[in-house]
Each structure stands twice: as C-alpha cells, then as structure tokens.
Amino acid sequence: MKKIKIISIHILCWVLVLAYFYGEILIKGVTLRAAAFDISMNFIQIVEFYVCYLWLYPSFLKRGKIPQLILGILFTMALFIAMRYFIEQVLYFQWFGMKNYSEDTPMAKYISDNIYYSISFLVIPAAVFSVEQNFKSEISNRKLKDEVVKSELAFLKSQINPHFLYNTLNYVYSLAIPVSDKLANAVLRLSDLMRYTLNESPDGKVTLTKEVEYLESYIELFKMRFEPNFYVEFTTDGIANQKVAALMLIPFVENAFKHGVVNDEKQPIRIKLKVQNNRLSFEVSNKISHAQKDHSSGVGLVNIQRRLDLIYPEKHDLLVSNNGNTYKTTLILNI
C-alpha cells in the first residue's frame, strides 16, 4: 500500500509538471519539429531522474560512497547524451528526416551542451531523495522515542528491583559454593546474565566481546540443564572491540533453543559469528523440534525486525530459511 501511494504521488507530480509545460506550448502554438524535440527531451529527463532516484543516490549517496557517486554521475550524464543522440540524431532523422543539431556541430559542443541540459535532472532527484530520506529519518526517530518511552514505562511498572535480584543471586552463590560446585556455577552464570542486562551505555551499544560473553553464559546455562546430551557448536571469527546494540544477538539463540533440538549429535545447533571489514554475520541453524513447544514468552522475528529497523535502518539484512527439517536465520549488520 505504501508503494502504491508513492507511485501515485510521482504520477500526480509528473502530470502536473507536464500539463503546465505542454499547456503553455499549446496556448502559444508550436511546430511539429519543436514538439518532437520537446517530447524527446522530457522523456530522456524522466529516465535520468529515475536512474538517479532509484539507483544512483540510494546506492552511493546514502551510503557515503563518494568515488562511486562521482562515477555514477558521469555515467548518468553519458547515458543522457547517448539517449538524446540516438533519439534526436538517429531515429528522428530516419522517421521525420530532421535532426536537432546540424551535421557540422562539433562533438565537443554537442557534449558540453547536453551536459548543461542534464545537470538540472541530476539536482532535482537529489533534492527529492534527500527530502524523502529526512522524512523517513524523522518518522524513525519518532518511533524510536516511542519505543524508549514504552520501555521506561514497562521498567517502572516492575515490582522487583533488578539490582535487588542481582545482589540476591550473589548471596545465593556464596551459599551454594559449599553445597555443590555445579549449583554454584549455575548461579554464577545467571548472575553474569543479570549483570549484563543491567549495564547501560549512552548509545545503547556494547562491545562485541561483551555480547559474545553473554551468549556463552546463556549457552552454558542450557548445557547444565541438558548435559550430557547437549550439542551446540558456537564459533567466532574476527571479534574485537566492535560495537553492537546490546542484546541484539541473543533472541536468535533463544529461539533456536526454544524451537530446536539440542540432543541430536548428528545435527547440532550451529551458531556462527563473524566480523570482516565492519560487516557482522551471525548465523544460527537448528533442527526443528516437532515435540510440544515451550510456551514461555520469547522474542519473535517481528519484534526483532522492528528493533533492527529502528537501530540499523538500511544497514541490515535478515534472512530466514526453513526446509521443514532445518530452520536457519542469518543476520547481516554494517557496524
């Protein structure tokens, strides 16, 4: 529905622009030759507009790729010149026996002349694209502020102070040490998870090493519950002090444990985290469990996608595959 609305706005704008332009021509009167060249020029300008609007600026300007942007502008200018030459100097000559430029026009003059005419429809789509992006950013910021307010309200409604729980777990850990090493270790892991969730940063991001430690503690807790029949492979590569939104990766692991099979040695749950050139790849695959599901609350993909849209707009890809036996999610982040 959103795309239909955008397309409708574009059509309306072009109708108004062309109606104004050709309405003036009809009133003043025009020759067939002038009308033909006006139509070809407008057609080529519209093509140039959408080359810039749909490909050039989203691909390079939005992502700050200046060298590619410059090359793209030069390519668009060349496309404008080539299209105009083909239509007005070749096709029109074959169809109507006329050309826009005379045969003795120097090529340098032809190119410089058409560079001038192409510039306006390089600038206009840039302005339209920028206004549209600012509008989207404003909407995204409003949504993010609403989410923050909702989170703060949810926290205020909590009847138990999380710091009290954390301190209590430390006390329980001290009591568990003389009783059972396994119990003490479980309490310690749970305490680590609680401490991580209480840590805050101004931008809501943490180092990737901290996020990995959190995942490891979470996996260790599950291992204590299901061992010795617990088969999970967790591998990392290229992890350093890169920053990532806190608790961004855990929902995928949680869903794998909740809906997957952890006791199949031949098909373990596989978790792969790799960072290369500021590109994070997080892949989680699991054998699908057809047993009765755990009905405890979890984080659905819809909520994950919403958080990604708010924190990493246009900087992420979330891929999901399900062949009936294996469920796999792959998250790509530009961090």
Q: Which amino acid is at 4?
A: I
Q: Residue 118's closest CA among 19, 32, 51?
A: 51
Question: Which residue, 252, 258, 245, 323, is CA-closest to 296?
Answer: 258
Query: Measuring CA to CA, which residue among 141, 138, 273, 158 is closest to residue 211?
Result: 273
Per-residue pLDDT band at 280 (split at 50, 70, 90): very high
Residue 261 has pLDDT above 60, yes or no: yes
Average pLDDT on 295-315 reads 73
Average pLDDT over all residues of the chain: 82
Topology adopted by domain 203-334: Heat Shock Protein 90 (3.30.565)
Residue 160 has pLDDT above 60, yes or no: no
Burial 145-168 (b: 16+ CB within 10 A, else e): eeeeeeeeeeeeeeeeeeeeebee
Least confident of 81-90, 228-237, 289-298: 289-298
Take residue 237 and report the two structure tokens written for it: 């590569």
Confidence label for 270 from pLDDT (cuts 50, 70 and 90): very high
Check: CB of residue 332 under 8 Å from CB of residue 316.
yes
Residue 295's pLDDT band (cuts 50, 70, 90): very low
- Alpha-carbon distance 154 to 143, whole Å? 16
User: What's the whole-number mean pLDDT along residues 62-70?
Assistant: 85
Place of tokens 């793209």: 72
Q: What is the mean pLDDT of residues 70-82?
A: 93
Spatial contact of 290 and 123, defined as CB atoms under 8 Å apart = no
